[in-house]
Structure 1
Amino acid sequence: MYVRRSLAIAAMTGTLALGLAACGDSTTDAPKAESTQSSVQNSVKPAAKEVAPADRMRNAAKAVEQQASAKVSVDSVEPGEGNTKAEGTLSWKKGSEGAELSMDAGSDPDLREMAGPDGKVHMTMANGSVYFPVAGEMVEMAGGKKWLKLDGSAAEDNPADDLPHGPAASLAALSTATDLAKVGKEQVAGAEATHYAGTVDIKKLAADSAVLKVISKDERDAYIKELHTTGLKATVKIEVWIGADDLAVKTMESGSTAKGTSKVTIVYSGYTRTATVEAPAAKDVTTLAEMMQNAAQG
């Protein structure tokens, strides 16, 4: 699951549907004046050279790749699907990809049908499958099981095809933008971050070999596939905010599709080097086929 689709799975039949679609500039302060018996002149170290925006994106992508998971807050606007907000945890360590998200049901009737008592739809993705807590009218059909599992056979899109990831793909893609520039210093979640923006030529990105020094070919190709699936064919505008330790604290992607403007904003916090998402215990899991069978038996 990449940037947009990392927080989006069109899931289920009939009653179920889900819409959720992915260091500040390096300067050195002058040291305090030093005095000696022989001189009263201050010694001042020159400021470190500012890192070029493209290099800053590559450094940030590499920094993110060294992490395994983060807390995320997502605001997605997709043509025909409206505005979806979610928050949770994303894990992208290879072999342990997963996501735990809570989505506001809002005015979407399908999401409301799946929502728990708190009015939110909770989703877990792990081991290439998607799980929803059993709630509402589904409880009786679940036969006492707590989780409904969607795999490739039950979902409109096989979730195993699009594994969760961090912001590295967006950062690497932005490094290829010819108009990439630093916007300035801004506050994100109460901390200072450096804002960068640029427009990525998707076709150029698909042929860019330099970006493969930062992310794998599979990551790049999957990211491009995600953009195309979203409806972005020519360009995507990417904005990122880089905070401490070269880690992205916010990303925003937008662009025009045949249906209108698509935009997704993700705020990242609490990076860790450990993957933290686990699948529910097998004994607590049912499937759509099992639920339909239970319903048929009355």
Structure 2
Amino acid sequence: MSRSAWKRAAVVLVAAAVVAGAAGCQDGDGGTEAAGASATAQPQTQSPEEAAKAVRAAYAKTTAAKSARVEMRLNVDSDKAPGGSTFTGVQAWGPAAADLKVFDSSYLADIPGAPVETRVVAADGATYVDLGAGLSAQTGAKRWLKVEAGGAAAGDELTLQLTGGLAAVNMDLPKELGLLAGSSTVKHVGPVKGGDVKAEVYEGEIPGAALVQVWIGADGYPVKTIVHTEADGGMTSLTTKYSDYGAKASFQAPPARDTVGLLDLLERLGQG
């Protein structure tokens, strides 16, 4: 197992848990087109001031809720580490925490002996990836990979490529909404066209991201957002669907005796 393969997998998995991303729909999702695309029927859109007010109201609601159930899809389109992973579980903010199942991951598939599905836990300022029992010979019998926010590995070129710069602003859902509400580019795109979701779509640029789109439901809570980020010629898309605001989870860090740090693991691999 090469150092680069481990690093690609670990950093991408950790990025989705640390970066409390936005939920939305990828290209081809029929439920995300905003009404108004037709030249014959242009719906009334809100002014920038009204759009900012609606996003601020969603910010207040999500801040008070403190957590939600999420379904996330991370896609990385780059020459260095293309691929993707899906995450489901509970995510919290203030403080940031997560307990997520990981599956449909090209990064896990690239590691011989890695589990097909695994778990990511973010707690106490660090993120942990369950490596499973099949990799114990390479990890010193440590089951959990630990990556600390802002650690030595967080600033290198590959890490920045994989996270698309999102980690630099330590984004969570309320913070993302607050930045969008204060952006000079925030605008109301229109209502969702098609599908069962009743929502208004807002978008704009915020620091660290090329584009953020938010779908705000009739109850004032975001139901979807999408964050596109460009870095070093690559594109990272983090997509999440939100439900069950206020959902509870334990967010308990694994015992220290069962964890190995990313840099320690890479050193072990290099010696091997």
TM-score band, normalised by shorter chain? 0.5 to 0.7
Q: Is residue 169 of structure 1 aligned with residue 170 of structure 2?
A: no
1:46 is matched with: none
1:102 is matched with: 101
- Higher-RCO chain (CA-CA 8 Å, sequence separation at least 6): 2
Q: CA deviation at 1:54?
A: 1.6
Instruction: Output one character per residue of 1:195-236: Cα deviation in whole Å (capped at 9) or x when no partner.
Output: 323332x5xxxxxxxxxxxxxxxxxxxxx3xx1xxxx5xxx3
Q: Is residue 122 of structure 1 aligned with residue 119 of structure 2?
A: yes
Q: CA deviation at 1:93?
A: 2.5
Any gaps of 5 or more consecutive residues in structure 2?
A: 16-20, 22-46, 160-166
- Contact 2:202/2:213, CA 8 A, preserved across alignment: yes
TM-score by length of structure 1 reads: 0.59
> Helix, strand or coil: the match of 2:65?
coil
Rounded Cα–Cα distance in structure 2 between residues aligned with 1:142 and 1:256 = 33
Q: Is residue 180 of structure 1 aligned with residue 187 of structure 2?
A: yes
- Contact 2:114/2:134, CA 8 A, preserved across alignment: no
2:111 is matched with: 112
Rounded Cα–Cα distance in structure 1 between residues aligned with 2:190 and 2:72 = 22
* Distance change (3 Å), C-alpha of 1:162 and 1:16: same
- Quick one: which amino acid aligns to residue 124 of structure 2? N
1:285 is matched with: 259
Which protein shows a greater Rg? 1
Q: State which of 40, 60, 63 in structure 2 corresponds to 1:62.
A: 60
- Contact 2:5/2:110, CA 8 A, preserved across alignment: no
Q: CA deviation at 1:58?
A: 0.4
Q: State which of 113, 127, 130 in structure 2 corresponds to 1:133.
A: 130
Rounded Cα–Cα distance in structure 2 between residues aligned with 1:289 and 1:263 = 26
* Distance change (3 Å), C-alpha of 1:166 and 1:247: farther
Note the 1:32-71 alignment, pairs <5 A: 52-71=50-69
Give the count of matched residue pairs: 222
Rounded Cα–Cα distance in structure 1 between residues aligned with 2:170 and 2:251 = 11
Q: Return the structure number with greater helix share.
A: 2
- Quick one: which amino acid aligns to residue 62 of structure 2? V
- Quick one: which amino acid aligns to residue 280 of structure 1? P
Q: CA deviation at 1:247?
A: 1.2
TM-score by length of structure 2 reads: 0.63
Q: CA deviation at 1:278?
A: 1.5
Q: CA deviation at 1:289?
A: 7.5
Note the 1:1-298 alignment, pairs <5 A: 13-17=3-7, 18=9, 19-20=12-13, 22=21, 52-80=50-78, 81-87=81-87, 88-94=89-95, 97-104=96-103, 106-108=105-107, 111-113=110-112, 115-116=114-115, 119-135=116-132, 137-142=134-139, 144-151=141-148, 156-157=153-154, 166-175=172-181, 176-178=183-185, 180-185=187-192, 190=196, 192-200=197-205, 202=206, 224=207, 227=208, 232=209, 236-254=210-228, 256-272=230-246, 276-287=250-261
- Quick one: which amino acid aligns to residue 92 of structure 1? W
Rounded Cα–Cα distance in structure 2 between residues aligned with 1:66 and 1:59 = 11
1:45 is matched with: none
Any gaps of 5 or more consecutive residues in structure 1?
A: 1-11, 23-49, 203-223
* Distance change (3 Å), C-alpha of 1:134 and 1:77: closer
* Distance change (3 Å), C-alpha of 1:240 and 1:253: same
- Quick one: which amino acid aligns to residue 85 of structure 1? S
> Helix, strand or coil: the match of 1:149?
strand
- Of all paired residues, the percent bearing the same amino acid is 22
Q: CA deviation at 1:68?
A: 1.7
Instruction: Output one character per residue of 1:259-294: Cα deviation in whole Å (capped at 9) or x when no partner.
Output: 144432211112117564121133433446777899
Rounded Cα–Cα distance in structure 2 between residues aligned with 1:54 and 1:153 = 31
> Helix, strand or coil: the match of 1:169?
helix
* Distance change (3 Å), C-alpha of 1:186 and 1:89: farther
* Distance change (3 Å), C-alpha of 1:84 and 1:137: same
Rounded Cα–Cα distance in structure 2 between residues aligned with 1:163 and 1:99 = 17
Rounded Cα–Cα distance in structure 1 between residues aligned with 2:263 and 2:245 = 38
* Distance change (3 Å), C-alpha of 1:85 and 1:199: same
| RMSD of Structure 2 on Structure 1 (CA) | 4.0
